[in-house]
Amino acid sequence: MQSPRERSTVRARAGWMVMGERGRPSALEVCRVLAVLFSLFPSVSLQCKILKCNSEFWASTSNAGPEEEFCTALRAYNSCVRRTARTCRGDLTYHSAQHGIEDLMSQHNCSKEGPTSHPRTRTPLPPAPPPVMTDSQERSDGPEVCHYERSLPRNTAPPNYTHCGFFGDPHLRTFGDDFQTCKVEGAWPLIHNKYLSVQVTNTPVVPGSFATATSKLTIIFKNFQECVDQKMYHAETDELPAAFADGSKNGGDRYGANTLRVVEKVPGQHVEIQARYIGTTIVVRQVGRYLTFAVRMPEEVVNSVEEGDNQDLYLCLHGCPANQRIDFRNFRARAAEAHSVSRTRSSTGAHGFTYQSAKTKCKERLPVEDLYFHSCVFDLLSSGDINFTMAAYYAFEDVKMLHSNSKRYHIFEKDAEMNSAEQKGRNLLSVFLVNLLAVLLWTVCL
């Protein structure tokens, strides 16, 4: 009877069974070749996330272990691949992964039913939690599993934190630092993953106008191990509560409940929600009649999608749909042209501001002419509501507090144009590399 170590050695030599022959490169090896190749060209991974599945599987199986652990990692890989089906259909790497998984399942007698694992293993739960306490009682900080960074394996790289912001008419800064201005009237999801969901409701700022702003915000924190109960936070215009919907200010009665807290910074104007068990901080403000939202979240949490969820409509991840976007640069150009053609006519403006007076007002709070400044100008011209000046100002203040890269605080028009050009280049590069991979796979399978 072979030991787990001997079986893992055999596994490394196991190849695809092609017409009864051994010796071909194994499915695992081919997946690793794909992962290495694409790690050299990370920009290829656009909508299709199959490469993330490949790299996670590679990382989780890099150290040979018992057969059961390999099957668990393989099932997790299979689950990850299935979640990419919609966006990766027709992708060569996706179909190669599908076939490779089937072969590895067969070679190692792995059942498709059973536990799955994640790339990072959380610290095991303590054997016996202390007695349940009420919301008002003192608690310790809770076990390590309830502290995101403490729960990560030792000697791993620190997590990469991302930021998303939603403010004004509204303007969106995605987790990928894309900056967009959108219509998105009605209810829209910003974030949805295994740990929390965020939804906003936007209403017209001026009757008949395309400009909208956020009047309602709902955040649902899902129950997590022994750390927190499910909690809902709901805010509306003129109602920015300092507690969850059930009246509590923390995660409930579990041992790590204090790793989820609502902290009121300015009554009725500024609330901060700290979710340390997932390394996340959320800032909600009311500025004038409308709400703003900002979040700092680890990339791993951002990408922790649920089974069968394609994530297409979540604004913080993919931005607003193309038919919901507004090119406020063209809007601004028309406003500037109108100002130059007829100073007298534009002196009052449709909503009380001319292009020049809007710039002057925004300059008081936002001296750098980045996209936050230009969004402020857009909001004043489209609505006439001076409170949008402060909405843009606080949105940028939240960036400085929550964004992990100080060099990316400001986003300029040239950055947005460069991102657009880069995406076109990535599309061309992806076509080239897919063809290259087709040749590679054809060669190794001969």
Q: What's the chain's length in residues?
A: 446
Which backbone phi and psi does 94 adopt, to 5 degrees? -60, -50
- pLDDT over 80 (residue 203): yes
CB 383 within 8 A of CB 205: yes
* pLDDT (0 to 100) of residue 106: 83
Instruction: Give CA–CA dist 353/378, Å, rounded.
Output: 10
Instruction: Give CA–CA dist 31/77, Å, rounded.
Output: 11
CB 257 within 8 A of CB 244: no
- pLDDT over 70 (residue 347): no
- pLDDT over 60 (residue 144): yes
* pLDDT (0 to 100) of residue 64: 52
Which backbone phi and psi does 93 adopt, to 5 degrees? -65, -40
Quick one: pLDDT band at residue 34, thresholds 50, 70, 90?
low
- pLDDT over 60 (residue 128): no
CB 366 within 8 A of CB 393: yes
26-40, 70-84, 86-100, 149-163 — which is least confidently predicted? 26-40
Quick one: pLDDT band at residue 32, thresholds 50, 70, 90?
low
The residues with which 239 forms a beta bridge, in sequence order, are 236
Higher pLDDT, 19 or 223: 223
* pLDDT (0 to 100) of residue 415: 62
Quick one: pLDDT band at residue 74, thresholds 50, 70, 90?
confident
Quick one: pLDDT band at residue 127, thresholds 50, 70, 90?
very low
Q: What's the CA angle centered on 8, arms 5 and 12, to 5 degrees?
A: 145
Query: Tens digit of pLDDT for each residue in 39-50?
Result: 444 444 445 667
Residue 445, classed as helix, strand or coil, is: helix
* pLDDT (0 to 100) of residue 112: 76
Superfamily in which the 145-324 domain is placed by CATH: Mog1/PsbP, alpha/beta/alpha sandwich (3.40.1000.10)
Higher pLDDT, 61 or 215: 215
Instruction: Give CA–CA dist 327/330, Å, rounded.
Output: 6
- pLDDT over 50 (residue 68): yes
CA–chain centroid gap for 59, Å, is 21
* pLDDT (0 to 100) of residue 436: 65
Higher pLDDT, 140 or 168: 168
- pLDDT over 80 (residue 77): yes
Quick one: pLDDT band at residue 331, thresholds 50, 70, 90?
low
- Which two three-digit tokens encode residue 424? 């076109």
* pLDDT (0 to 100) of residue 44: 40
Exposure pattern of 250-283 as b/e (b: 16+ CB <10 Å)? Answer: bbbbbbbbbbbbbeeeeeeebbbbbbbbbbbbbb
Contacts of 78 (CB under 8 A, 6+ apart): 101, 105, 112
DSSP H or E run through 187: strand 186-192
Q: Quick one: average pLDDT of 290-310?
A: 88
DSSP conformation letters of 188-210 = EEEEESSSEEEEEEEEESSTT-S
Quick one: pLDDT band at residue 246, thresholds 50, 70, 90?
very high
* Strand order from edge to edge, sheet including 325-326: 260-266, 270-275, 280-287, 290-298, 161-167, 171-173, 179-182, 325-326
**Where exactly does CATH 3.40.1000.10 map onto the chain?**
145-324
Average pLDDT, the chain: 77
- pLDDT over 70 (residue 181): yes
CB count within 10 Å of CB 313 equals 13
CB 291 within 8 A of CB 277: no
* pLDDT (0 to 100) of residue 52: 73
Query: Tens digit of pLDDT for each residue in 248-277?
Result: 999 998 888 999 999 999 999 999 999 999
Residue 414, classed as helix, strand or coil, is: helix
Q: Quick one: average pLDDT of 109-127?
A: 57
CB 203 within 8 A of CB 215: yes
Q: Quick one: average pLDDT of 205-218?
A: 89
CB 390 within 8 A of CB 269: no
CB 378 within 8 A of CB 328: yes
Instruction: Give CA–CA dist 309/324, Å, rounded.
Output: 22
Query: β-strand 196-204 against 171-173: which pairing, if any?
Result: unpaired
Strands (DSSP E) found in 259-344? 260-266, 270-275, 280-287, 290-298, 325-326
